[in-house]
Amino acid sequence: MAIKPPVTPKKPIGLPSTDEGGSVVLERRTEKVKPPQMYQVVMLNDDYTPMEFVVVIIQEFFGKDLEAATQIMLKIHLEGKGVCGVYSRDVAATKVDQVLDAAAKAGHPLKCVSEPLD
């Protein structure tokens, strides 16, 4: 009974090409990932919400100290609106909901929105 030696193909089918040394050469492609879009949480002025309440809200939900919260409150009062913080979209939406819920529970018409940061 005659046995033939196995035949090895010269180039494997479906595999990347090799260089002269027999090693596989792969190209590395770097992809640049953009950082997520940031949003600023803005409180709007009204004539009914007490300034002390706004300061407490800024301290509680935005982690500001008394002096920083007072400065933001004065900016809201004098300019009509003030930025309380900059966050990713989901965190900014949560902060807005927290502020609006606290204001509604206290019976104040305080408004808060999130805007995309340019």
Domains of the chain: 38-116 (3.30.1390.10)
pLDDT band at 24 (very low <50, low <70, confident <90, very high): confident
Most confident of 18-22, 28-32, 34-38, 110-114: 110-114
Q: What is the pLDDT of residues 74-87, one digit of tens each?
A: 999 999 999 999 99
Whether 84 contacts 72, CB under 8 Å:
yes
Nearest to 98 by CA among 71, 58, 67, 65: 58
**3-state DSSP assignment of residue 5:** coil
Please give the structure tokens belonging to residue 96: 């807005």
Whether 86 contacts 40, CB under 8 Å:
yes
